[in-house]
């Protein structure tokens, strides 16, 4: 059986039409004209076509682009070439492209695309646990430099059936281990709102591709906040689904002891819901499946959520200080929720942050050590600083010391937390907190080669993102909503966490918030 990493074992071998989104407006951009496209050396006719189609990328979300394709107002090839032109123009500035699958995408269009809800829409996968047979997948690590997958993941197959056109992969830190997208292999991914700041992680490349206007939505993963952190840092919407909602296979159906999941980062709520409609569902051999739901997730976005009981959690369980500007946006968000008829009161589940932190460390480190030792053995090499970054090596070193009993105890700790939070949420529909404890950090603070000892790095990382991991521990759905800006003009996301299996309620609430405080026209100025 092929290894679950999707790389060769070298010991053996090498819908219905949807109206255009009414709140999206054209942004002033260097790409609105032909200047940046001319710099790419494209023929004049190609520049003109890409520039015109580029306006569609500005003014439409993914569902809107698919509608244009269905109405034959634009072709899949025109959308693809416009997205490629934008990626080529923007990547030197922000460094979000890990792999370029341009010829693969052109060949997919030439073969004919299936009729799906996103037919003809250009798409980027995260370069982590999303594989296409025969294409490069490196996971942000020198250990996997130049490796090509030997199978295609189930999620990618579902994206294909939805009609998406994959033309590349976005950057990630090494194996998705931190809340910033910086790596020795690919360098630093920069935030379009301020290139000196982090884009978040580990799906930072995906968030930058969307925030920079290359495409309106992109694939992402979340094992401790990796969808929601970059969504907050880049001013976008990001929902982590319930455990078991989206596929992880085919050869492995959970990641990091069940903490990790796949979904997307988007500009609009309705895109996020429609992508979940296209990808959710049990896969063969899955260890668990999220509860079923009635109707589509997309249909929930326009529905009113009713009067919700919202628990306001301004302080994280680990006691990390929260930036006053994040707290100010939290108070404004609470007031907005109250104005919409919801009941908001300060409350939080009682969790042992130290025990949970240790448990997650055990699960991640032991899983990582097993995978990377197997990978190194298949390559006939030793794991060391020439192929792994210092913090990754520290994770592996610790993972090698853990026992089966340690893993079982860590899993038990997670289950206890899930029960505690479920009991707490018998009284509340949603928990509201900041997504992260401060606006985006300066680059170099929490990367995997920080030049500081492992404990100091761990402290920094935990202080920046003390809220998001709870939903990974418990398996609950959780979303970052772009509801604020700092005094320095940096995005500030708000985190809403729902009961297990209740993405529908979160989409109803998110749709209500989007209508009450629209954010789609708020874009970074890049030229």
Quote the strand ranges of 102-253, DSSP E: 122-126, 165-170, 182-183, 187-188, 190-191, 194-198, 217-222, 237-240
**Six-digit token pair at 166?**
């994959």
Provide the CATH number for the domain around residue 82: 3.90.1300.10
Q: What 8-state DSSP symbol labels residue 485?
A: E
Q: Label residues 14-37 b or e (16+ Cβ within 10 Å = b).
A: ebeebeebeebeebebbbbebebb
157 part of a folded domain: yes
Query: Over the stretch 121-161, which tens digit does the pLDDT of each residue have?
Result: 999 999 999 999 999 999 999 999 999 999 999 999 999 99
The pLDDT assigned to 21 comes to: 41
For residue 316, count other CB atoms closer than 10 A to its CB: 23
Residue 7 domain flag:
no
Report d(CA 82, CA 75) in Å as an integer: 11
Q: In this structure, what token pair is assigned to residue 361?
A: 């460390």
Q: Is residue 70 part of a domain?
A: yes
Tokens of 3: 């290894």
Q: Greatest CA span in the chain, whole angstroms?
A: 65
Q: What is the pLDDT of residue 294?
A: 86
Dist. CA 459–CA 418, nearest whole Å = 24
Within its chain, how far is the Cα of 307 from the centroid? Answer: 29
Given a contact cutoff of 8 angstroms between Cβ atoms, the answer to whether 424 and 163 are in contact is no
In the annotation, is 29 catalytic?
A: no
Q: Which residue has the tokens 């500007």?
A: 325
Catalytically annotated residue among 51, 202, 232, 478: 202
pTM metric for this prediction? 0.93
Backbone angles phi, psi at 79, to 5 degrees: -65, -45
Q: Structure tokens of 66?
A: 């698919």
Does 242 participate in catalysis according to the annotation?
Answer: no
Query: What pLDDT sits at residue 51?
Result: 58
In a domain, residue 4? The reply is: no
Catalytic residue among 29, 51, 126, 449: 126
**Inter-residue contact 466 to 320 (CB < 8 Å):** yes
Number of domains forming the structure of the chain: 1
Q: Are the C-beta atoms of 473 and 363 separated by less than 8 Å?
A: no
| Residue 335 token pair | 């007031």
DSSP letter at 154 equals H
SS3 per residue for 357-376: HHHHHHHHHHHHHHHHHHHH
- HSE of 473, CA atoms in CB hemisphere, 13 A: 28
The pLDDT of residue 470: 98
Whether 181 maps to a domain, the answer reads yes
Tokens of 357: 């932190």
Residue of 149, 183, 203, 226 with catalytic role: 226
Whether 126 is catalytic: yes
Question: Is 339 part of a structural domain of the chain?
Answer: yes
Residue 471 in domain: yes
Structural domain containing residue 43: 35-516
Q: Are 149 and 134 in contact (CB under 8 A)?
A: yes
Phi/psi for 73 (5° steps) reads: -85, -15
Give the residue ranges of the chain where pLDDT is below 50. 1-5, 7-49
What is the rounded distance in angstroms from the CA atom of residue 347 to the CA atom of residue 336? 18
CA distance 206 to 466: 22
pLDDT tens-digit series, residues 57-89: 999 999 999 999 999 999 999 999 999 999 999
Contact 224, 469 (CB under 8 A): yes
Domain contains 487? yes
Contact 96, 124 (CB under 8 A): no
């Amino acid at each position: 059986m092929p290894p679950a990493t999707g790389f060769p074992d070298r010991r053996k071998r090498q819908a219905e039409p949807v109206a255009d989104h009414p709140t999206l407006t054209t942004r002033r951009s260097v790409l609105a004209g032909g200047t940046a496209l001319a710099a790419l050396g494209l023929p004049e006719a190609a520049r003109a076509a890409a520039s015109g189609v580029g306006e569609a990328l500005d003014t439409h979300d993914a569902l809107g682009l698919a509608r244009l394709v269905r109405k034959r107002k634009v072709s899949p090839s025109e959308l693809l070439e416009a997205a490629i032109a934008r990626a080529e123009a923007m990547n030197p500035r922000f460094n979000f492209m890990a792999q370029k699958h341009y010829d693969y995408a052109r060949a997919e269009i030439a073969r004919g695309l299936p009729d799906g809800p996103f037919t003809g829409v250009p798409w980027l996968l995260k370069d982590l646990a999303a594989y296409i047979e025969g294409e490069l997948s490196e996971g942000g690590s020198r250990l996997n430099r130049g490796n090509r997958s030997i199978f295609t993941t189930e999620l990618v197959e579902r994206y294909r059936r939805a009609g998406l056109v994959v033309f590349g992969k976005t950057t990630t830190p090494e194996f998705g281990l931190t809340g910033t997208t910086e790596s020795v292999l690919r360098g630093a991914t920069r935030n379009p709102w301020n290139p000196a700041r982090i884009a978040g992680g580990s799906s930072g490349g995906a968030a930058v591709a969307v925030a920079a206007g290359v495409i309106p939505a992109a694939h992402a993963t979340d094992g401790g906040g990796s969808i929601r952190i970059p969504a907050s840092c880049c001013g976008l919407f990001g929902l982590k689904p319930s455990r078991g909602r989206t596929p992880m296979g085919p050869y492995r159906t959970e990641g990091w002891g069940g903490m990790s999941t796949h979904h997307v980062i988007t500009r609009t709520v309705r895109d996020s819901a429609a992508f979940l409609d296209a990808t959710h569902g049990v896969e063969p051999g899955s260890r668990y499946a999220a509860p079923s739901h009635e109707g589509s997730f997309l249909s929930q976005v326009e529905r009113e959520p009713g009067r919700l009981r919202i628990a306001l959690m301004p302080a994280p369980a680990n006691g990390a200080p929260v930036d006053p500007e994040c707290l100010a946006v939290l108070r404004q968000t609470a007031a907005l929720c109250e104005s919409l008829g919801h009941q908001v009161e300060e409350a939080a589940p009682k969790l042992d942050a130290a025990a949970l932190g240790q448990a997650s460390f055990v699960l991640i480190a032991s899983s990582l050590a097993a995978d990377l030792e197997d990978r190194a053995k298949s390559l006939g090499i030793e794991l060391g600083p020439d192929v792994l970054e210092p913090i990754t090596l520290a994770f592996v070193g610790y993972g090698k010391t853990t026992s089966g009993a340690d893993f079982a105890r860590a899993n038990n700790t997670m289950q206890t937390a899930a029960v505690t939070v479920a009991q707490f949420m018998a009284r509340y529909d949603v928990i509201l907190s900041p997504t992260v404890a401060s606006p985006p950090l300066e680059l170099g603070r929490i990367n995997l080669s920080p030049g500081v000892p492992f404990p100091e790095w761990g402290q920094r990382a935990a202080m920046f993102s003390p809220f998001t991991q709870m939903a990974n521990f418990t398996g609950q759905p959780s979303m970052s909503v772009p509801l604020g800006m700092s005094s320095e003009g940096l995005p500030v996301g708000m985190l809403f966490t729902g009961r297990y299996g209740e993405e529908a309620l979160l989409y109803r609430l998110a749709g209500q918030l989007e209508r009450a405080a629209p954010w789609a026209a708020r874009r970074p100025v890049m030229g």
